[in-house]
Amino acid sequence: MPASPPRLRPPPAPKRPRHALSLLAGTAALGLTLTIAPSAGATGMQGHIYMAQCAAEQTTDPRLRAVLDAHPMHLANGGYFPDSGYTARDHDQGEVAHWEPFVQAYIEVFRERYKPPFTPEASQHLAFLMGLAAHGITDSTFDSLLYARAEQVDGGDFDSFDLSMDVFIAHDKPRYFVPEYAYDAQYLSAVFGRVPHPVPTENITQAMTTARTGLSAVAGLLYAGANDYGKRYPWARAHVFEPRTGGSYPHGAAVVAGYYRELMKRLEGDTSADGLLIGTYPDEHRRLATLDPTRADGRVVLFFGHGLDRASIGESVVVTDGAGAVVPAKVAPFRGSTYPNVLTVTPTSKWQPSTRYTVRVAKTVRTLNGASPTKDLELTFETCAPKTPGGDCGEPDYPAPASACPKLDASFKTRPGQEPEAPAEPADAGPPPAANGTNPSSGCAVASPEPSLGALAWLGLPLALAWRKRRRAS
């Protein structure tokens, strides 16, 4: 087993067309226009931040929980950082940051600079890492299941689907959250260089500023269009927070919680791979929704806490039925990365009703660090019993689990502009802090205060936000 992994370069990503969709937000009097290049899939930045935060509330490791509780803004900034790169001229600034090689490069730089016990500065970088890693894996939980199923059910034009997800979370939860800046552009530039895909610090800063403007627009104005988006994507709106739905935000957060566990091991130099399988569909809270494998929610999806060596996947995944007979199935990496961390398992014929199946990942599978589990990894599940012969599964009739992050779900419910008035400052409060300074809690640079969205709207200032997302699975 090599002491350290080789330097990794992601494979070239096919550039997606940069279409433009002009969206008029609010009334003509507001005059706020967002030019958005639509995605070919994925949830929005607010959804990514939410799942990173929800997973943090589920974290049982007291050391990591203390870090995430102490640096929530670094976690949130990491949660939207990968998509910020799509606002840059260099599309791969966003593409590269989504994949396991970037996560591994971040870990390498971290381990070179910091040793436990971690200083506050190290803890900030650790929290940011958890957020950006959560973003990458939840693109896969969401896209492989909920997005793919929404395409089948809602159909139509999906150009604004990712934006609609952010609108739904702001309006329906409700959740009006815009994180303060908390990131280290120099550190991130060093990580890009390690990949290698050089990105200067000023490009990172500009991208994060543009992306945060988009977050502010959704939380402050665009949420009002939820019902219009709901007419386009009714199934997605009804299921994005449904905990029994594969790929929903509760499902994504549960997978991220397992990812956090494995990332901590990697940060500490633990190369064991016995906890490599961090989440699945189906699982204990989400039963297989159908016997039809042509449906997006009729296939098995496996999520791993480390990138897998493609050469080791081969015939390593086998499906058997209750009698031990092998079930023919197609096994494929969900994403096109050299080191995928998601596999889909699709049988070549329908699942049998009321049948217990086992999906086994052989211990010969290897991570990008060359590590293998000491025993096979397994998922066992049982298919539904249709109410009519030859029929399919109905809507879930089993209890939905309670929220795994109740504190988070009770937060950020005050709409911007409706916050309670702050108490008056004492007469000797002294001068206000400098506009461009340092966040005293994080040590990170703070940008000049932005005018409120209301002020921007009344001034009729057009905002341009390139909402470019990565390609879908190949």
Residues 166-182: tens digit of each pLDDT? 999 999 999 999 999 99
Helix axes 45-58 and 249-267, enclosed angle (nearest 10): 60
SS (H, E, C) 398-426: CCCCCCCCHHHHCCCCCCCCCCCCCCCCC
- How would you class 107 by CB atoms within 10 Å of its CB: exposed for 0-12, middle for 13-18, buried for 19 or more? buried
DSSP states along 184-216: -HHHHHHHHHHTT----HHHHHHHHHHHHHHHH
Are 107 and 164 found together in one domain?
Answer: yes
Residue 108 has pLDDT above 60, yes or no: yes
What is the span of the domain harbouring residue 31? Answer: 21-253+447-464
Per residue in 412-433, pLDDT (tens digit) is: 988 766 655 544 444 443 433 3
Q: In whole numbers, what is the pLDDT of the chain averaged over residues?
A: 83
> Are 239 and 369 in a shared domain?
no
Cα 467 from chain centroid (whole Å): 16
Domain CATH number, residue 384: 2.60.40.3710
**Domain-located, residue 422:** no
In this structure, are 220 and 294 located in the same domain?
Answer: no
Using alpha carbons, select from 311, 349, 354, 355 the residue that is nearest to residue 330: 349
In a domain, 284, yes or no: yes
Over range 204-218, report the average pLDDT: 96
- Asked if the structure places residue 430 within a domain, the reply is no
Name the domain boundary from 379, 397, 415: 397
Q: How many domains does the chain have?
A: 2
pLDDT in tens, 44-98: 999 999 999 999 999 999 999 999 999 999 999 999 999 999 999 999 999 999 9
Q: Let me know if residue 69 belongs to a domain.
A: yes
> What per-residue confidence (pLDDT) applies to 438?
32
Looking at the structure, tell me whether residues 245 and 347 fall in a common domain. Answer: no
Shared domain check, 234 and 85 = yes
- The answer to whether residue 418 sits within a structural domain is no
Note the maximum CA span of the chain: 80
Based on the fold, state whether residues 73 and 214 are members of the same structural domain. Answer: yes
